[in-house]
A and B are shown apart, each in its own frame.
Chain A
Amino acid sequence: MSEQVSRRDFLKLAGLGAATTAVLTGCGPASRYVTREPYQQMPEYNLVGQSTYYATTCRECAVGCGIVVRTYQGRAIKVEGNANHPLNLGKTCARGQATLHGLYNPDRVTDPIKKSRGDSAGENINWDDAIQVVADALKNNQPNEIAFLLGTSSDHLFDLLTDLANSAGVNAPVRFGALSMFESRATLSKAAENLFGQAGMPWFDVANAETVFSFGANFLETWLSPLSYTRGFANFRKATETKLRGRMVQFEARMSATGAKADEWVAIRPGTEALVVLAIGKLVAEIKGGSVPRIFSSVDPLEVASQADVPLEALQHLAELFATSNVVAIPGGPALGQSNGLAVAEAVLALNILAGNVGKAGGMYISALAPNQSEYHRPASAQEMQAFVERMKNGEIKVLFVHGVNPVFELPNAIGFKEALSNVGQVISFGIFPDETAVEADYVLPDHHGLEGWGYQRVTTGTDLPVLSGAQPVVSPYYNTRSTVDVLIEAARLAGGAFASALPFADEVEFLENKVTSLMSESSGSFSAIDNVAFMASFQQYGGWWKNVDAKVSPSGSTAFSRNISAEQAQFAGEGEFFFVPFVSPTLGEAGANKPWLQELPDPTTTVMWTTWIEINPETAHELHVENDEVVKVISEAGEIEVPVYIYPAIRPDTVAIPFGQGHTAYGRYAQNRGANPADLLGLHFNEAGDLAFAGMKVRIEKTGKTKPVSRNESRMGVYGEDLGEEH
């Protein structure tokens, strides 16, 4: 052919050829290319073509919900709730459902790795060498130079390391999680201690209340025990023959997904929470008659109304409502993340005392302790983490083990965790994902995924019963990973001396048996057994052990009313004009960003998927001349980030909000380089209980001239406008 065949003609010819071939050959059965690989040895309880269900505990957060995982031919197919588990009664949240996307995540750490800091990849080593590294780290350092930083999940690992600390003298394990930071757990338990003389996690019986006054508490999202609170909310809302539909009032500057369910949403000015609570207390006391308790006496409701930017009539109306129904008042969320967060918590608990609901149905209790627990234990507060980082900086910690937490990402940048790591001789991560902390480690010795491993979790709040939730492997490990407990037991044996005698167990299962079977002698258990083997079998089968005894505590707060709470507004750090409210993404939680289906879940209030946004009131946006999808720079005293704007109708004009959960620089393909991390904006200011005053920042906003289309489900037409472009 002399002429060149044009592209168009070539396509025509090629199409003709392909069509002919297809017609002539038919589409042959695909069976030629399929093989079936039967079991070499069929596991017990399995049947070809039938699913097998295993009870275990969800490890996506520290709550300890019971799940039942459907497995099929050795693969985990679906997470379902454990209907017998007293905490969640067969229900699951979105993060629990997506735990399978963690198990089968394409970016898991597949083998133990030796690497240099700052690299995400390294050289694979075998487990014998890896365990020797751990053993050497234990042996070659003074016990007080060895530290363990743990996440809030996997209580059995915490117990193992506590045993190790007690008998071998290493530092007691430190636990931390971004969720507990944003929940201000230290503040809640400190407030309970100050008012009732008893530290513990307050539990609010929403189910039986007539009215809920929530001061920023996001109890329908990620707060403390969301499934249990959501069930309570459903009962509270449903009218029956004997009770009315519950009425809910939410006080917060930015409407949270919880606030969206409230009948009345009161947008008080950030920092005035304590004042508002005290003013309501004073008004209620006046309505009820008698003298106003000292704790409420220092405020002037009229002044508070103007400080909080709420009409006095509204406060009076709310006080009226409060005085005439069975109310439970809940403190939480950004209200506690203020410089005076402890005062807020104490004032709200005092409000419950005023309502006379403490220790009564529909009121406030202190949560039951878990079965093998003698006192309430909470994760480290941000201030305690700062002290820990200080010790790292001073070179007091020579070897740091990290498990189940990603402090480089979860802690505010200002705390300097990443920088402090350079003063730590050896960093060993047990992370299952290549997260930011694993990147900064010398070794990554991956633990099994939660669905592949053993363990137990203490239920700290959310149910009347003392519950120890049990975990067992539902599938065999997919990669060359090894249980951290097994690694530590083996390393301790190799290290010898006090280490070996501290952990005299053959393996993780023997350790668990040792811990769990001590419950056999307890009365009123959910099951009993004739021997250890039977007990362990039932423990696995039921997904835990619980005592059928209502063990929640009814505290007495007789002296609470005589306390003094300083009636002042909270302090704000920084020069900006906007109050800054960071909140935990209800769908992603603290560690969900690497699970693709969690990324694609719309945020409940904004319906945004896959990225971070900043919520700005429409009026403010108009004044700033910013529009949806416009990228702005948010600047605080601690740092700056760039985020696209989402014009949010339910936020105060003087307030902006950014969800926490994105902004990873590592953590796998679905999380990396996506969105921004609002923790970068947080300065180190603490409330009196040592929790971070995360809502105590002021920020300013600058335009950048850039735009970023924010994917959101509310717009079925798409967010790219009419110009869809040819390629799409």
Chain B
Amino acid sequence: MTTLSDLKISEVKLAAEEGGKWGMVIDQDICTGCQACVAACAMENNIPFVGEEDSGYGRAMHWIRIERFWEGEYPEIKMTNQQPMMCQQCGSAPCEPVCPAFATVHSQAEELNLQVYNRCVGTRYCANNCPYQVRTFNWRDYERPEPLPNQFNPDVTVRRRGVMEKCTFCIQRIHKAQDKAKSEGRDVMDGEFTTACAQACPSNAITFGRIDKEDTLVYNMIHHGHSHGKKHLEELGTLPNIVYMNGNGAA
């Protein structure tokens, strides 16, 4: 019988070299900061609300948050373009090597950063090492009084106290779409499904899809648009898979 240790996983190419599988393009110029993505994400992924006091301690569990910064002073003040920030699904993720429990691992199949809840022992090393500050920790078993749990998405684990969590690129939707495509004997089509945030976004500022195939929407936006956008903190060598654009660059 083969065991896991017999496998020659090292032969598998690092995801970093392959350049990722799923990606996202976010156009900050049309993001209005309306929070629809945040709410959609919370509803899709069974994210608990933590209440006023804990959110005051910076423990709010938004998997996606919309950052905004100020430039200048009144009256010459300007809010920078809103910046939806979530797990960048790094090709070479700083969170991964620091996990002593192998709960934060790289998915070879989907090329995403996984958070395996049942392995997580809550050291929070990963959150400390994440340059994007997008990991959230369950400081408590947050109360969701009956009948609120009726709303839980059965496709997503309900996390408990002491577990780290973060944006998964709606991996449950990826699996569902792949399962459906497979049952129909075909490949997943571009745009067949999308993440909860992209689905809700009223201005279509978020686009999700395959980046490893040409002729997909996201691939074209990244490689054939007027603007190539930028990846955040790319200089750290994290190889993030989310591209931020400020307008599409056309004059």
A residues with a Cβ closer than 8 A to B are 72, 75-81, 88, 90-98, 100-101, 103-106, 220-221, 226-227, 230-231, 233-234, 237-241, 244-245, 255, 257-258, 260-261, 265, 267, 478, 586-587, 596-602, 604-605, 607, 609-611, 617-619, 649-653, 674, 709-720, 724, 728
Inter-subunit contact B200/A92 (CB<8 Å): yes
In the assembled complex, B42 has its CB within 8 A of some CB on chain A: yes
Inter-subunit contact B148/A715 (CB<8 Å): no
Inter-subunit contact A230/B202 (CB<8 Å): yes
User: A597-B42, A718-B56 are known contacts. Are A101 and B154 too (CB-CB below 8 A)?
Assistant: no
Task: Give the contact stretch, choosing among B26-34, B100-108, B157-165.
Answer: B26-34
Q: Which of B146-175 contact A (CB under 8 A)?
A: 146-154
Identify which of B36, B75, B145, B202 contacts A106 (C-beta below 8 A).
B145
Least distance between B196 CB and chain A CB atoms (Å): 8
In the assembled complex, B129 has its CB within 8 A of some CB on chain A: no
User: A244-B251, A597-B42 are known contacts. Are A602 and B151 too (CB-CB below 8 A)?
Assistant: no
Inter-subunit contact A609/B34 (CB<8 Å): no
Inside 8 A of B74's CB, which chain A residues have their CB?
267, 617-619, 649-653
SS of B interface (majority)? loop
Inter-subunit contact A93/B202 (CB<8 Å): yes
- Complex CA–CA separation, A436 to B78 (angstroms): 39
Inside 8 A of A98's CB, which chain B residues have their CB?
39, 43
Identify which of B34, B43, B50, B70 contacts A79 (C-beta below 8 A).
B43
In the assembled complex, B178 has its CB within 8 A of some CB on chain A: no
Least distance between A130 CB and chain B CB atoms (Å): 23
- Complex CA–CA separation, A581 to B131 (angstroms): 38
Q: Which 4 A-B pairs have the closest CB atoms?
A: A239-B250, A234-B203, A711-B56, A610-B52
Inter-subunit contact A78/B248 (CB<8 Å): no
- Complex CA–CA separation, A716 to B44 (angstroms): 23
Q: Pick the most buried of B32, B38, B79, B153: most chain A CB atoms within 10 A of its CB.
A: B32
Inter-subunit contact A90/B199 (CB<8 Å): yes
Inter-subunit contact B152/A597 (CB<8 Å): no
User: A226-B202, A245-B250, A650-B74 are known contacts. Are A597 and B79 too (CB-CB below 8 A)?
Assistant: no
A-B CB contact pairs (8 Å), 19 listed? A77-B154, A78-B43, A91-B36, A92-B200, A93-B36, A93-B200, A101-B151, A105-B148, A221-B34, A226-B202, A231-B203, A237-B29, A586-B35, A600-B50, A602-B62, A604-B66, A618-B73, A652-B74, A728-B57
In the assembled complex, B65 has its CB within 8 A of some CB on chain A: yes
Inter-subunit contact B35/A716 (CB<8 Å): no
Inside 8 A of B39's CB, which chain A residues have their CB?
94-95, 97-98, 597-598, 601
Least distance between A110 CB and chain B CB atoms (Å): 10
- Complex CA–CA separation, A649 to B226 (angstroms): 34
Q: Pick the most buried of A96, A610, A652, A719: most chain B CB atoms within 10 A of its CB.
A: A610
Inside 8 A of A240's CB, which chain B residues have their CB?
250
Inter-subunit contact A92/B79 (CB<8 Å): no
Identify which of B35, B152, B153, B247 contacts A587 (C-beta below 8 A).
B35
Identify which of B35, B59, B75 contacts A604 (C-beta below 8 A).
B35
Inside 8 A of B248's CB, which chain A residues have their CB?
238-239
Q: Which of B75-89 contact A (CB under 8 A)?
A: 75, 77-79, 82
Inside 8 A of A257's CB, which chain B residues have their CB?
32-34
Inside 8 A of B199's CB, which chain A residues have their CB?
80-81, 90
- Complex CA–CA separation, A598 to B44 (angstroms): 15
- Complex CA–CA separation, A227 to B204 (angstroms): 11
- Complex CA–CA separation, A103 to B146 (angstroms): 11
Inter-subunit contact B65/A713 (CB<8 Å): yes
* Chain A minimum-CB-distance residue to B38: A601
Least distance between A433 CB and chain B CB atoms (Å): 14
Least distance between B113 CB and chain A CB atoms (Å): 20
Inside 8 A of B204's CB, which chain A residues have their CB?
91, 231, 234
- Complex CA–CA separation, A711 to B30 (angstroms): 27
In the assembled complex, B242 has its CB within 8 A of some CB on chain A: no
Identify which of A80, A88, A649 contacts B73 (C-beta below 8 A).
A649
Inter-subunit contact B60/A77 (CB<8 Å): no
Inside 8 A of A710's CB, which chain B residues have their CB?
56
Inter-subunit contact B55/A713 (CB<8 Å): yes
Inter-subunit contact B200/A91 (CB<8 Å): yes
In the assembled complex, B15 has its CB within 8 A of some CB on chain A: no
Inside 8 A of A104's CB, which chain B residues have their CB?
147-151
User: A106-B145, A237-B29, A478-B147 are known contacts. Are A718 and B58 too (CB-CB below 8 A)?
Assistant: yes
Inside 8 A of A601's CB, which chain B residues have their CB?
35, 38-39
- Complex CA–CA separation, A261 to B27 (angstroms): 13
- Complex CA–CA separation, A310 to B38 (angstroms): 37
In the assembled complex, B243 has its CB within 8 A of some CB on chain A: no
Inter-subunit contact A600/B49 (CB<8 Å): yes
Identify which of B49, B73, B202 contacts A231 (C-beta below 8 A).
B202
Inside 8 A of B51's CB, which chain A residues have their CB?
600, 610
Least distance between A459 CB and chain B CB atoms (Å): 16
- Complex CA–CA separation, A101 to B29 (angstroms): 31
Identify which of B42, B53, B65 contacts A602 (C-beta below 8 A).
B65
- Complex CA–CA separation, A653 to B74 (angstroms): 9
- Complex CA–CA separation, A709 to B55 (angstroms): 11
- Complex CA–CA separation, A709 to B75 (angstroms): 27
Inter-subunit contact B34/A93 (CB<8 Å): yes
User: A104-B151, A239-B247, A267-B75 are known contacts. Are A609 and B36 too (CB-CB below 8 A)?
Assistant: no
Identify which of B55, B133, B151, B196 contacts A100 (C-beta below 8 A).
B151
Bits for B231-251, please: 1 = Cβ < 8 Å to A, else 0: 000000000000000011111
Q: Pick the most buried of A72, A710, A724: most chain B CB atoms within 10 A of its CB.
A: A72
Bits for B187-201, please: 1 = Cβ < 8 Å to A, else 0: 000000000100111
Inter-subunit contact B52/A611 (CB<8 Å): yes
* Chain B minimum-CB-distance residue to A239: B250
Inside 8 A of B56's CB, which chain A residues have their CB?
709-712, 718-720
Identify which of B34, B42, B55, B60 contacts A220 (C-beta below 8 A).
B34
User: A94-B35, A709-B56 are known contacts. Are A260 and B133 too (CB-CB below 8 A)?
Assistant: no
* Chain A minimum-CB-distance residue to B199: A80
* Chain A minimum-CB-distance residue to B53: A711
User: A650-B74, A728-B57 are known contacts. Are A599 and B154 too (CB-CB below 8 A)?
Assistant: no
Inter-subunit contact A713/B62 (CB<8 Å): yes
- Complex CA–CA separation, A596 to B50 (angstroms): 9
Least distance between A621 CB and chain B CB atoms (Å): 12
In the assembled complex, B112 has its CB within 8 A of some CB on chain A: no
Inside 8 A of B93's CB, which chain A residues have their CB?
none
Least distance between A655 CB and chain B CB atoms (Å): 11
In the assembled complex, B68 has its CB within 8 A of some CB on chain A: yes
- Complex CA–CA separation, A610 to B40 (angstroms): 18
In the assembled complex, B205 has its CB within 8 A of some CB on chain A: yes
Given contacts A97-B40, A652-B75, 8 further A-B contacts (CB under 8 A): A78-B44, A91-B201, A92-B36, A100-B43, A231-B204, A260-B68, A617-B74, A711-B55
* Chain B minimum-CB-distance residue to A103: B151
Inter-subunit contact B247/A245 (CB<8 Å): yes
Inside 8 A of A227's CB, which chain B residues have their CB?
202
Least distance between B43 CB and chain A CB atoms (Å): 5
* Chain A minimum-CB-distance residue to B249: A239
Least distance between B186 CB and chain A CB atoms (Å): 19
- Complex CA–CA separation, A422 to B248 (angstroms): 60
Inter-subunit contact A106/B68 (CB<8 Å): no
Inter-subunit contact B147/A265 (CB<8 Å): no
Inside 8 A of A719's CB, which chain B residues have their CB?
56-58
* Chain A minimum-CB-distance residue to B145: A106
- Complex CA–CA separation, A233 to B204 (angstroms): 11
Identify which of B73, B79, B148, B153 contacts A605 (C-beta below 8 A).
B79
Q: Pick the most buried of A81, A267, A711: most chain B CB atoms within 10 A of its CB.
A: A711
Least distance between A149 CB and chain B CB atoms (Å): 29
Inter-subunit contact B30/A233 (CB<8 Å): yes
* Chain A minimum-CB-distance residue to B71: A649
Inside 8 A of A245's CB, which chain B residues have their CB?
29, 247, 250-251
Inside 8 A of A717's CB, which chain B residues have their CB?
58
- Complex CA–CA separation, A601 to B65 (angstroms): 9
* Chain A minimum-CB-distance residue to B196: A78
Identify which of A75, A244, A596, A713 contacts B49 (C-beta below 8 A).
A596
